[in-house]
Structures are given as structure tokens and as C-alpha cells.
């Protein structure tokens, strides 16, 4: 390697990736510690929600956001690269005249604005998350409202996925067009070449969120907590950053050649996420049409961990039924109860911290946040023979049913 040749990996990229990894490590440590100052750290369900948000950002958010917001960044970058080229070109020309081979490399110039853009974006979305969480705390969403919201979000995501697949023109309306005055303002700001422009633009992306981000914003609203809303949006936006950075960087280098491939990939993932979200909403509504409720009888029933099997079950004939609420879900997932008479459902938790604690029986309009350890009794009124009562966690992730015989 000659002395003039640049290393294949840009130092700015290495530093950026290092910073991203350190940030992730710090976030993980902060949320895993037993600090009481931030309540959200103690709940493993909440932790898993944050990890899901991070992974969603990492897998789909980055690409989806890039599709919507990438143009802004690219226009800013293009100008930066152009400036960079003009600054270096005469220098290169002189070297060429001296008989040396020199390539103009705008790499370091494109990496820094992307980094600044992403930092501003993370800060802006974290603040937005806090605001949404605060707003949600005043709205207090009931499980049913949350179910409807989730189904609407799911439909929105499905519509967006079908739009990306170009199935029918009608699906274009699932893409929200920002008001003209905002796009004009953002566009005109994008022309600046100073360091603050990418920072400012990154912050402005809150006005043009992509479909996945909009879904995450709704989730932040649903947390009903300022800290949790901020943490959720921070985790998500942080997750979007590496992909956003790498793809934005490569896009400036490779052009739009890979864009089609990435859009297809995003469309597939958004489609899957949309289906999962609609399904969760159906679970919270207690609909027999959800995937779990449709397939429960087709698949062999999971009796749960060995510890549950060893505990003696209360007799249904005696008017009591026990349901073990564990971190992994409800055990057994199908309970049998006598038809035509009231009985007591004992919900037993033992160091349960996942969202299974948020217990919902939609048909009875019953919702209770169970203690992490203890027993809560629920009086179930008499039900007809052959009927089924579905129960679920408030996220629609864990489900089960009571069959009346």
C-alpha cells in the first residue's frame, strides 16, 4: 500500500459504529440495573418492549425511514459532496499534472453529516416520545381502545406494505403526504452546507415519519408514561440508526441500484409486522379469528413448564380453577370449567414481570394488572355449555381460553 492510499475503512465509520455500540451497551446497562429512579428499568416486560422497539428499528425502521427521509439527507449530502469535490478537484488536478494518480474521495465528508443527522434525529424522537407518553398518560387507554388502535395501526402497516408492492393505486393513500409548507421549509433548509444543517434536518424528520415510525409513535402514546414513551422512541430510533447510516452511506456511494431490493425487503417485513399487529389487536378484542384462537385446537396444547405440572390443580368441580401466569405466558393455555355455574378463577403469579401480568378477559370487560407474586381471584359468571372465554395479556401476545363443558 502506498503512503498516499487511503485505508479501505473510513475512520469516521469506525468511530460512528463504535459510538453506536457503546450507546447500545450503556442503554442495556442502564435498563438492566436495579436503579429505582426510573421505574421502567425494573419490569422485564417493559425491557422486552424496548428490545422489540430496538430490533424493529434495526430490522425495518431504518430502511423504512430511509425511504421517506433519505431524500432529505441525500440532498444535503449531495451538496456537501459537491462542495467537497470542488474543493479537492483543483488539488487533484495539480497532482495529476505532476503525474500522480489521485482519486477524489468524498467519503469522510458524507459520513459526518449522516452522523450529525442521526444524532439530531434520536434526540428529536426521544423528546417526541416523552411528549406522546405524557399525552397518553392523560388519555389512559383501555385494553379495548388499545385493541382498536392496534388493529388500525396494523391495517395502516398492511396498506403501506401493499403500497410498496404496488398492488393497487388505492394503497398509495396509506402514505401520508406532509403539508406543503412543511415539505417546502424542510427542502429549503436542506440546501445549507454548514454543520448545523444535517443537525437541523435530522430534528425536522419528526414531521415526516415513515409508516413504521408512526406505528411506534402510537405505541409510545399507548405507554401512558413520559419516561417509557421517551425510552421506546429512543430505543427505536437508536435501532434505526446503524442501518440508516450504512444504507445512506452506501446509497451515496452506490446510487439507487440497491434501492429496489431494500424496498422489497422492507415491504415484506412491514407486511409481517402488520399481520402480527392486527392479530394482537384481535387477541385483545377476544376475537376467535385471531391466529392463536383459530389454531389452538389444531396444535398440541402446551402444558407449560414442569414446575406448573407439579403443582396440584384446584378442582373445577369445587368451583375453583387455577391459571398460572408466568413470564412465558399462561399455563395451561386451555382451561376446562363447568358450564351453567359461577366459579372462581385463581390467577397465580410468581415473580412474573412480563406483560402476561396485564390480564384481560375481553368478553367480561375484565382488566387487571396482577401483582408480580401472589394470587388474584376473579369471579367468572355462569356460561353456556360449549362456549369459550378467551383471555390475553394487554399486548395481545400471550393468550389462552376457558372452555365450558
Which residues of the shown chain bind another protein in the complex (CB under 8 A)? 67-72, 75, 166, 169, 172-173, 175-178, 180, 183-184, 186-188, 191, 208, 256, 263
Task: Specify the residue, 11 or 178, whose C-beta has the smaller distance to another protein.
Answer: 178
The answer to whether the CB of 393 falls within 8 A of the CB of 356 is yes
CA distance linking residue 7 with residue 244, whole number of Å:
23
Q: Which of 204, 189, 198, 234 lies closest to 216, judged by CA? A: 234
Beta carbon nearer to another protein, 183 or 346: 183
What distance separates the 2 farthest-apart alpha carbons in the chain? Answer: 98
Give the start-end residues of each E strand in 299-364: 320-326, 329-331, 334-337, 343-349, 358-361
C-beta of 60: minimal distance to another protein in Å? 15
Angle of CA points 309, 297, 404, to nearest 5°:
75
CB of 158 to another protein, least distance (A): 17
Cβ 45 to another protein, closest distance in Å?
35
Distance separating alpha carbons of residues 386 and 340, to the nearest angstrom: 10
Shortest distance, position 62 Cβ to another protein, whole Å: 15
The residue written with cell numbers 456511494 in the block is 253
Which residue from 103, 121, 105 is spatially nearest to 11, judged by alpha carbons?
Answer: 105
Nearby residues of 376 by Cβ (< 8 Å), 6 or more positions away: 346, 347, 349, 359, 368, 370
Smallest separation (angstroms) from another protein to the CB of 277 = 21
> Which of residues 169 and 312 has its CB atom nearest to another protein in the complex?
169
Of the two residues 247 and 335, which places its CB atom closer to another protein in the complex?
247
Residue number, 177 or 194, with CB nearest to another protein: 177
Shortest separation between residue 214's beta carbon and another protein, angstroms: 12
- 322 near 314, Cβ under 8 Å? yes
CA distance 62 to 180: 25
Residue with smaller CB distance to another protein, 100 or 191 = 191
Spatial CB neighbours of 30, under 8 Å, sequence gap ≥ 6: 38, 41
How far is residue 368's CA from residue 261's CA, in Å, rounded to a whole number? 45
Residue 176 vs 369, nearer CB to another protein: 176
Strand 320-326 and strand 334-337: the pairing is unpaired
Q: Write down the least CB distance from residue 234 to another protein, Å.
A: 25
Select 75 or 287, whichever has its Cβ closest to another protein: 75
Cβ 178 to another protein, closest distance in Å? 7
Neighbour count for residue 303 (Cβ, 10 Å): 12
Amino acid at each position: 500500500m502506498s503512503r498516499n492510499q487511503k485505508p479501505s475503512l473510513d475512520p469516521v465509520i469506525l468511530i460512528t459504529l463504535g459510538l453506536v455500540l457503546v450507546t447500545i451497551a450503556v442503554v442495556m446497562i442502564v435498563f438492566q440495573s436495579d436503579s429505582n429512579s426510573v421505574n421502567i428499568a425494573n419490569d422485564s416486560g417493559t425491557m422486552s418492549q424496548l428490545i422489540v422497539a430496538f430490533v424493529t428499528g434495526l430490522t425495518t425502521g431504518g430502511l423504512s425511514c430511509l425511504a421517506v427521509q433519505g431524500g432529505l439527507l441525500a440532498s444535503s449530502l449531495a451538496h456537501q459532496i459537491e462542495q467537497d469535490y470542488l474543493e479537492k478537484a483543483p488539488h487533484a488536478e495539480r497532482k495529476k499534472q505532476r503525474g500522480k494518480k489521485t482519486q477524489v474521495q468524498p467519503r469522510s465528508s458524507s459520513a459526518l453529516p449522516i452522523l450529525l443527522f442521526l444524532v439530531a434525529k434520536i434526540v428529536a424522537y426521544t423528546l417526541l416520545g416523552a411528549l406522546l407518553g405524557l399525552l397518553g398518560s392523560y388519555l389512559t387507554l383501555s385494553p379495548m381502545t388499545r385493541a382498536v388502535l392496534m388493529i388500525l395501526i396494523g391495517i395502516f402497516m398492511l396498506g403501506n406494505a401493499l403500497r410498496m408492492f404496488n398492488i393497487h393505486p388505492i394503497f398509495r393513500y396509506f402514505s401520508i403526504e406532509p403539508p406543503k409548507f412543511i415539505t417546502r421549509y424542510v427542502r429549503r433548509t436542506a440546501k445549507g452546507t454548514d454543520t448545523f444543517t444535517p443537525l437541523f434536518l435530522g430534528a425536522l424528520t419528526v414531521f415526516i415519519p415513515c409508516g413504521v415510525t408512526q406505528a411506534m409513535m402510537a405505541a409510545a402514546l399507548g405507554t401512558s408514561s413520559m419516561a417509557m414513551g421517551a425510552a421506546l422512541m429512543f430505543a427505536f430510533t437508536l435501532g434505526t440508526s446503524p442501518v440508516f447510516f450504512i444504507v445512506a452511506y452506501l446509497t451515496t456511494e452506490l446510487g439507487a441500484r440497491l434501492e429496489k431490493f431494500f424496498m422489497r425487503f422492507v415491504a415484506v417485513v412491514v407486511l409481517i409486522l402488520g399481520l402480527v399487529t392486527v392479530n394482537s389487536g384481535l387477541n385483545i378484542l377476544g376475537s376467535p379469528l385471531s391466529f392463536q384462537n383459530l389454531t389452538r385446537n389444531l396444535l398440541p396444547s402446551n402444558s407449560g413448564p414442569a414446575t406448573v405440572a407439579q403443582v396440584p390443580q384446584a378442582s373445577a368441580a369445587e368451583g375453583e380453577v387455577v391459571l398460572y401466569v408466568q413470564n412465558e405466558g399462561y399455563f395451561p393455555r386451555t382451561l376446562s370449567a363447568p358450564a351453567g355455574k359461577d366459579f372462581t378463577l385463581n390467577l397465580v403469579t410468581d415473580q412474573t414481570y412480563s406483560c402476561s401480568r396485564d390480564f384481560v378477559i375481553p368478553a367480561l370487560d375484565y382488566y387487571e394488572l396482577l401483582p408480580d407474586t401472589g394470587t388474584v381471584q376473579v369471579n367468572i359468571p355462569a356460561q353456556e355449555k360449549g362456549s369459550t372465554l378467551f383471555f390475553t395479556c394487554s399486548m395481545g401476545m400471550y393468550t389462552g381460553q376457558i372452555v365450558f363443558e
